Structure 1
Amino acid sequence: MHRVTGERHWRWRDENGPSSLGNHEDLVTDLPGQPPVDFRHYAGYITVNENNGRALFYWFYEAMSQPDEKPLVLWLNGGPGCSSVGYGATQEIGPFLVDTDGRGIKFNNFSWNKEANMLFLESPIGVGFSYSNTSIDYDNLGDEFTANDTYTFLHKWYLKFPSYRKRVFYIAGESYAGKYVPELAELIHDNNKDPSLYIQLNGILLGNPETYDAEDWRGMVDYAWSHAVVSDETHKIITETCDFKSSDIWSNEDCSEAVDEVLKQYKEIDIYSLYTPVCIGDTASSDDKSVLKIMMKRKSNMIPRILGGFDPCLDGYANAFYHRLDVQKALHVSDGHRAKNWSICNMDIFYSWADTKPSVLPIYQNLIAAGIRIWVYSGDTDGRVPVLSTRYSISALGLPITKAWRPWYHEKQVSGWVEEYEGLTFATFRGAGHAVPCFKPSSSLAFFSAFLQGESPSSSRY
């Protein structure tokens, strides 16, 4: 197998003739600006509902080496309404990251496809390039709808890639995928009773995940106060007036005004990364001006999404890249004559989300009882789903501790702290924001490798 490179495009030439995968209809052969690599990748659509014309877009990268021997990992971003391709694949853990020129891509030396075959999915419909031809589908979006479509996607994807059908499988994701991932895992586990539907799910990996709405909110406001984002007075009002376990929390005016003050102060900085700069001139946060009022009208306890990130301008770079007609043609989403619209987050989905589980902790308990590995990690400079939220949620499970709180190491430095429970491992990443791999690419890859191998993160500095 040889690579043929030109000024801007790259493609495979297989001198041994076409293989079953090399000739695959979704093989990406001419992605503009792609660095030369020795693995194949595929992109395209899977129709999950023929009657309604509902189709989900995916981008799949074979492992860099020995793909036939390595597991398959599905990565999901959250929002709800945000793109796993725009975030996970090309800002965090995929082999090609959007470059700072806003038009091209560069190679990621710490891509997770060094350790596994990586599958990124834009889900649900309305996210990224995924769509439905039936408008009423968009009125039904929620957790259950998303889990069912993703489950259907997996089985239909296996028909396109049958060699992965019996492969060891993991699901990973971050943020609102803290709900997507366990819900999908439970659906797989429940349906595995039917041998014809069996998927060899071994574990789930969750980064800064939304888990339990009440504890997520409590952790968010406690973290904001403990990191000097809000005043003692604001925190005191919230502590005295907010019952985050109440379905009618926003009826208390003192509570809602104090929480609104937390969100107001977070608009001044990057809620996803407290100590890094914001993208000056970026107007993305203007969408969030009335977010709490919208939530109050919907009687929703979902935490609002406020746009931001490690390089706060990266979202704009991704937007420029995915709107390129030649990129869309290479990824099999356009015929090359007319570009499709793409956005990294569809806020209409967030505002209209019809169904959300207030807690996935009961699912954790079911998965633990089934022997499915659960690892949770938390970047400790994230204010959106902060480390306190995750610690409060895990504490609510009441799991016995098997290995006490201790530092874990990478390249002779403390990467964070870790505690192991019966059926669950929790780790922090020191100095990382919401999207941990953006901040700590090398240590997150090492952590991912330990997860796949079922080994504890390194407890030795040397």
Structure 2
Amino acid sequence: MCIMTVLLQAFLLVLLFHINAASRSIITSLPGFPGDLPFKLETGYIGVGDSDNVQLFYYFIESQGSPMYDPLVLWLTGGPGCSGFSALVYENIGPLSFDYAHSFDNKPQLKLNPYSWTKVANIIFIDAPVGTGFSYAKYWDEYPNLNDTISAAQTYQFLRKWLVDHPRFISNPLYITGDSYAGIVLPIIVQKISDGNEDGLEPAMNLQGYVLGNPVTDEVQDANSQVLFAYLKALISHDLYQSTKRNCKGEYVNVDPNNAVCLYDLELVNECVQDLDEANILEPSCETLETPKPIGRKWHPQEFSNKDPIDLLLPSSQVSRPWCREYNYISSRLWANDKTVQSALHVVKGSIKEWVRCNTSLKDSYVNDVSSTVIYHKNLIRKSYRVLIYSGDVDMAIPYVGTFAWIESLNLTIDDEISWKPWFVNAQVAGYKTKYTLGKYELTYTTIKGAGHTAPEYKPEACLAMISRWFALYPL
């Protein structure tokens, strides 16, 4: 009877493996890239939820270093609703980027990215939650019921099933990573993995820590920090900052509608910052042609904007238009909606109507049921994890000062030897770092000089140096 039980369990595992294996494929070439891919790319779906109704699409790229020993990384892109492909090609996390100089006739071309994080890690790029990228649901009744908690639970289930499908990576050091809105769902996932390991769930995950960039963490604190950020970057005057701080009592989001002096000060603040690119205050502010990056604050500058909308309708011959980063995002939409591309990626035919980099329509149904994840970070400091938090220092959407503030609230011990010191790439300052510890737990926080939201998109070389050193246990 015992032998029969073992044989039955083995049969079921083999059956499960073959069912899942049918939904994953090794991709050796891609439209727009010359020749065969010089790295191992796998795409596929993992079913989660009731009866595997939700099919989460992923791109998996083996490390170009030592796949057997390098970390296994699950990358979560923000939004919510931004595809893992966006991080892969635009944030320089993956080995491909678009070759704009050689793309013609709406046929985007691809080239190798010299700053890919896959040089030092095996990376799973997931399209999550459902409705993101190529992920879909067989029956769309689950689509309107999305929230942060469900999204985190489904991604956690995805990872468990992925590891069953890829047992040779179970022993690799595991890091959960992501940026922007991933700052909400990622700590929840880490907590689930940690709890699952303690409860003895199989397969046990070799979780070593997590990485977050420009993370949404606490809606109110993130937004409140934008006024201080504007002051520190000389976007508003000293007098206006002091007046706003005094009249609003440090609260710039949930403002009393009867507090006229505070509202007036905030209107003046918005007048100073409304024409800036919130993602990177050093770059041109442009009309959005593709799906935008997330907006951090609730009191968005456009509420007070006096810009004449007709300016945006003038012919290009009448308006001198600067280069805009948003223009690059069009390439992914053209490329990913090409039927030959979808066939090459083994996308299920008819599963989605149109691929978009960031599915903003999710906002109509997605419920932000977790407003702050600081409590999760506080719970996790009791574990022996390594944590890296980084911020582009010219990102006004999620300012570094707000991120620094919630890290300080964890009441960790500052490492005296690494207390706000510069770190270097090519003999130049790449940012400033500080390190905290509590027992075997350690957290490194660093800024990326001149980077916006999200940092690797703007400073790929510095960010590759950062993650390479950190994974290797070297000082930044």
**TM-score class, shorter:** 0.7 to 0.9
Structure 2, unpaired ranges of 5+ = 1-20, 304-322
Report the TM-score when normalising by structure 2. Answer: 0.79
1:375 maps onto 2:424 in alignment: no
Asked if structure 2 preserves the Cα contact closer than 8 Å seen for 1:91 and 1:314, the reply is no
1:122 maps onto 2:121 in alignment: no
Asked if structure 2 preserves the Cα contact closer than 8 Å seen for 1:129 and 1:342, the reply is yes
CA–CA distance in 2 between the matches of 1:436 and 1:227? 18
1:164 to 169, 177, 194: 169
Partner SS, residue 388 of structure 1: helix
- Output the amino acid matched with 1:418: K
CA–CA distance in 1 between the matches of 2:393 and 2:176? 22
Which residue pairs with 1:76 in the alignment? 76
Q: 1:131 to 1:239 in 2, by over 3 A?
A: farther
Deviations 1:113-148 (A, max 9, x none): 100111101110111111223333233222111110
CA–CA distance in 1 between the matches of 2:62 and 2:241? 48
Q: 1:275 to 1:287 in 2, by over 3 A?
A: closer
CA–CA distance in 2 between the matches of 1:421 and 1:286? 30
1:388 to 395, 398, 401: 401
Q: 1:281 to 1:251 in 2, by over 3 A?
A: closer
Which residue pairs with 1:215 in the alignment? 221
Asked if structure 2 preserves the Cα contact closer than 8 Å seen for 1:319 and 1:342, the reply is yes
1:292 is displaced (CA, Å) by: 5.3
Asked if structure 1 preserves the Cα contact closer than 8 Å seen for 2:164 and 2:203, the reply is no
1:400 is displaced (CA, Å) by: 1.4
Structure index of larger Rg:
2
Q: 1:451 to 1:126 in 2, by over 3 A?
A: same
Partner SS, residue 275 of structure 2: coil
1:167 is displaced (CA, Å) by: 2.0
CA–CA distance in 1 between the matches of 2:26 and 2:400? 40
Partner SS, residue 51 of structure 2: coil
Larger CA deviation: 256-265 vs 321-330: 256-265
1:273 maps onto 2:280 in alignment: yes
Matches within 5 A, 1:270-349: 270-279=277-286, 282=289, 311-335=325-349, 340-349=353-362
Deviations 1:383-413 (A, max 9, x none): 1111111112212222211131111111111
CA–CA distance in 2 between the matches of 1:74 and 1:394? 23
Which residue pairs with 1:443 in the alignment? 462
1:316 is displaced (CA, Å) by: 1.4
2:423 to 408, 423, 433: 408
1:435 is displaced (CA, Å) by: 1.6
Partner SS, residue 27 of structure 1: strand
Q: 1:388 to 1:252 in 2, by over 3 A?
A: farther
- Output the amino acid matched with 1:325: K
1:224 is displaced (CA, Å) by: 2.2
Deviations 1:149-199 (A, max 9, x none): 001111121233221123211011111111222111111001112241421
- Output the amino acid matched with 1:34: F
1:239 is displaced (CA, Å) by: 2.5
Asked if structure 2 preserves the Cα contact closer than 8 Å seen for 1:77 and 1:88, the reply is no
Q: 1:227 to 1:132 in 2, by over 3 A?
A: same
Matches within 5 A, 1:41-56: 41-51=41-51, 53-56=53-56
- Output the amino acid matched with 2:342: Q
Q: 1:29 to 1:286 in 2, by over 3 A?
A: closer
2:449 to 430, 441, 446: 430
1:264 is displaced (CA, Å) by: 7.0
Partner SS, residue 25 of structure 2: coil
2:209 to 203, 209, 212: 203
Report the TM-score when normalising by structure 1. Answer: 0.82
- Output the amino acid matched with 1:271: E
Which residue pairs with 2:434 in the alignment? 419
CA–CA distance in 1 between the matches of 2:158 and 2:367? 21
Which residue pairs with 2:29 in the alignment? 30
Which residue pairs with 2:312 in the alignment? none
CA–CA distance in 2 between the matches of 1:135 and 1:231? 51
Which residue pairs with 1:358 in the alignment? 371
- Output the amino acid matched with 1:274: I
CA–CA distance in 2 between the matches of 1:136 and 1:237? 50
Matches within 5 A, 1:1-40: 25-35=24-34, 36-40=36-40
CA–CA distance in 1 between the matches of 2:146 and 2:256? 23
Q: 1:263 to 1:372 in 2, by over 3 A?
A: farther
CA–CA distance in 2 between the matches of 1:252 and 1:92? 46
Matches within 5 A, 1:144-155: 144-155=149-160
Q: 1:338 to 1:198 in 2, by over 3 A?
A: closer
CA–CA distance in 1 between the matches of 2:258 and 2:358? 31
Which residue pairs with 1:86 in the alignment? 86
CA–CA distance in 1 between the matches of 2:265 and 2:149? 32
2:191 to 186, 193, 210: 186
Q: 1:116 to 1:325 in 2, by over 3 A?
A: same
Asked if structure 2 preserves the Cα contact closer than 8 Å seen for 1:95 and 1:111, the reply is yes
Q: 1:376 to 1:130 in 2, by over 3 A?
A: same
Asked if structure 2 preserves the Cα contact closer than 8 Å seen for 1:225 and 1:231, the reply is yes
Which residue pairs with 2:16 in the alignment? none
Q: 1:378 to 1:451 in 2, by over 3 A?
A: same
Q: 1:227 to 1:34 in 2, by over 3 A?
A: same
1:206 is displaced (CA, Å) by: 0.8
Larger CA deviation: 173-182 vs 42-51: 42-51
1:66 is displaced (CA, Å) by: 2.2
Partner SS, residue 44 of structure 1: strand
Partner SS, residue 313 of structure 1: helix
Partner SS, residue 329 of structure 2: helix
Q: 1:142 to 1:242 in 2, by over 3 A?
A: farther
Asked if structure 2 preserves the Cα contact closer than 8 Å seen for 1:207 and 1:378, the reply is yes
Q: 1:213 to 1:256 in 2, by over 3 A?
A: farther
Aligned-pair identity in percent equals 32
RMSD: 3.2
